[in-house]
Chain A
Amino acid sequence: MKKYAEVFRVSFKMQIVWRFDVVMTMAAAAARAIAGWIVWRVIFLGKESVGGFTQDAMLTYYLISSILRSIDFSHHISGEVSYLIRSGRFSGHMVTPVNPLGFFSFMSAGMSAFHLLFSVTAAALCAFAMGINLSFTRDIARILPAAVMIPLGLTFTASFQYLIGVATFKFLEIGFFMYVQWSIIAFVTGSMVPLSLLPSAVLAVLRFIPFTHVIYTPAMLLTGQASAREGLFGLAVLAAWTLMMMPAAHYTYNRLRKKYDGVGI
């Protein structure tokens, strides 16, 4: 565990070097929150509630989801793993006594931890500038599952993106597939629109997939729009998927690594 803690620490410190990336993370969080504010402010003109949300609850949802999305760096994992395999530079990860899944997960966690403060700051500044009355729940039964789901969700997405990345051993060029899955994930995590606006039959299906509980469910819990029971259900679904995804990623890596020629293409 000590070596993974070191990966986390180095990754955290490395972020200080990339100052413009920090600015960009803040800009991304702010841009999503501002986009939500511009659109929903117009939609709420003359309306008390839309889809069960008041205007303050909707804007708070967007602020929380923009923070959660901006601290999820797991998409870097699939890109980097794929690049390292194609360039023949993945060999370094095969010969060092560190599990690559653990390495990339903790690297991503270090990035998330560093950027969390800046994303929260950007969102808070947006809330202040746009005059949003933040609508958070004070119900501890909702806050607790949300607090567990956020790191668990990041762990799941890290494992999932690693699995996508190691597919490069077999398919070599997975660039467009990565873009496709990023677009789909952005939607099903609820970072584009709250999923409760979708037809109930669709939402009933989405409840059983893990991505829904990475952003949507924690944001709904923290704004008081979802019940504690729904939170516990989401937590159970996410935990089950994470427990399946980690060995699946590990197994896929061990199986496909034999195809690696180590010279790049």
Chain B
Amino acid sequence: MKRNVRFVLLLMKLKLSRMMMFRVSFFGAFIADGTMFIIQLLAFEAIYSQVDAIGGWNRGQMIIFVGTFAVVNALNMLIYFFGVNDIPEKIKRGDLDGYITKPVSPLLRVTFENVNPGSVPLLIFSAGIVCYGVSAAGINISFMTGLLYVLLVLLMTLLWYDMELILRSIPFLVLSANGIVQLEEQLIEMNFKIPGILYKGGFKVVFYFILPYGIMSTTPTQMLSGLLTASGFLHAVVITAFFTAFAIGFWRYGLRHYKSTGS
């Protein structure tokens, strides 16, 4: 464990050194994603200028929803996105050879080798959106609620990681996952605009159980708003545990089918 932590810290140090060579791009993720979340807030502001609530959620709760999505996205960009995102290309080019033959977990290295410190400002900015939402909703938050919210945000970050890992491990079996990654982008964009509480019927089954993007921002928002039931909390924990186990199992299964050749 201690060895792994030292290894992760070394990877972070190396990445930071590389990033300092391209200083203008250092804050690229912050500027690009920050703009996207501001635009989404403006879109909801336009809707809330006409109505008081959407599906029972007031303006403040919707701001928390956007902010929470931004926080999970920022953690994703900060920690693992740029590493996991490269998996299909590494499989295609046979670059995983260098990972398998090293005395360290290939998944650990792939996950943490491209941490992006440039996303720290995005994380702070996103937390600011959540605070603004809490203020706009007029919610009083107890220490325990805040703690459970942070726990849920971390769980949802893990769930997002699981989904990314599963989708990007598919090329172990089919070589190209470009289409699947495009599909993932569409699903994330859609779920970024729709709070999970608005899903009914088949959509709820799909986005709560099969492709659980629908709970990623909704559940923490419900927690902060005092609307999350015990079964909702349990659902988030069980879904995350299931998808984490599945993602690791699928990665190992894929690795056994890795052909170790460029194509």
Residues of A near any B CB (own CB < 8 A): 20-21, 23-24, 27-28, 31-32, 34-35, 38-39, 42-43, 47, 50-51, 173, 175-176, 179-180, 183-184, 186-187, 192-193, 197-199
Residue B98 is within 8 A (CB to CB) of chain A in the complex = no
A35/B46 in contact, CB under 8 A: no
Closest 9 CB pairs of A and B: A176-B28, A179-B32, A20-B179, A197-B46, A192-B43, A183-B36, A176-B32, A187-B39, A51-B50
Residue B227 is within 8 A (CB to CB) of chain A in the complex = no
Known contacts A31-B190, A42-B198, A176-B25: A199-B39 contact under CB 8 Å: no
B199/A23 in contact, CB under 8 A: no
List B contacts of A42 (CB < 8 A).
54-55, 198
With A51-B50, A179-B36 already in contact, 9 other A-B pairs whose C-beta atoms are closer than 8 Å: A23-B179, A35-B193, A38-B199, A43-B54, A47-B51, A176-B25, A179-B33, A183-B36, A184-B35
Interface of A, helix, strand, loop or mixed by DSSP = helix
Residue B189 is within 8 A (CB to CB) of chain A in the complex = yes
Most buried by A among B22, B28, B32, B178: B32
B179/A38 in contact, CB under 8 A: no
CA distance A64 to B182 in the complex (A): 22
A180/B186 in contact, CB under 8 A: no
B258 to chain A, nearest CB (A): 23
A-B contact pairs, 11 of them (CB 8 A): A20-B178, A20-B179, A23-B179, A24-B182, A39-B194, A176-B27, A176-B31, A179-B32, A187-B43, A193-B47, A197-B46
Q: Please count how many residues in chain B sit with their CB below 8 Å of the partner chain's CB atoms.
A: 35
CA distance A50 to B54 in the complex (A): 12
Q: Which of A24, A176, A184, A187 contacts B183 (CB 8 A)?
A: A24
List A contacts of B183 (CB < 8 A).
24, 27
CA distance A180 to B31 in the complex (A): 7
B22/A27 in contact, CB under 8 A: no
B131 to chain A, nearest CB (A): 22
Residue B24 is within 8 A (CB to CB) of chain A in the complex = yes
Known contacts A35-B194, A39-B198, A183-B39: A175-B28 contact under CB 8 Å: yes
Interface string of B176-208 (1 = CB under 8 A from A): 001100110011011001100011000100000
List A contacts of B51 (CB < 8 A).
43, 47, 50
A183/B54 in contact, CB under 8 A: no
Most buried by B among A21, A28, A51, A183: A183
Residue B49 is within 8 A (CB to CB) of chain A in the complex = yes
B217 to chain A, nearest CB (A): 14
Residue B29 is within 8 A (CB to CB) of chain A in the complex = yes
Interface residues of B in 9-55 (CB under 8 A from A): 22, 24-25, 27-29, 31-33, 35-36, 39-40, 42-43, 46-47, 49-51, 54-55
CA distance A27 to B199 in the complex (A): 18
CA distance A31 to B194 in the complex (A): 11
List B contacts of A184 (CB < 8 A).
35, 39
B193/A199 in contact, CB under 8 A: no
A182 to chain B, nearest CB (A): 9
CA distance A173 to B27 in the complex (A): 13
Q: Which of B22, B43, B186, B187 contacts A193 (CB 8 A)?
A: B43
Closest Cβ neighbor of A42 among chain B residues: B55
Q: Which of B32, B55, B190 contacts A34 (CB 8 A)?
A: B190
List B contacts of A35 (CB < 8 A).
190, 193-194
B54/A31 in contact, CB under 8 A: no
CA distance A175 to B194 in the complex (A): 28
A73 to chain B, nearest CB (A): 14
Closest Cβ neighbor of A47 among chain B residues: B51
B121 to chain A, nearest CB (A): 13
List A contacts of B203 (CB < 8 A).
38
CA distance A39 to B183 in the complex (A): 21
Known contacts A35-B193, A193-B43, A197-B47: A24-B179 contact under CB 8 Å: yes
Q: Which of B25, B46, B54 contacts A39 (CB 8 A)?
A: B54
A27/B186 in contact, CB under 8 A: yes
List A contacts of B54 (CB < 8 A).
39, 42-43
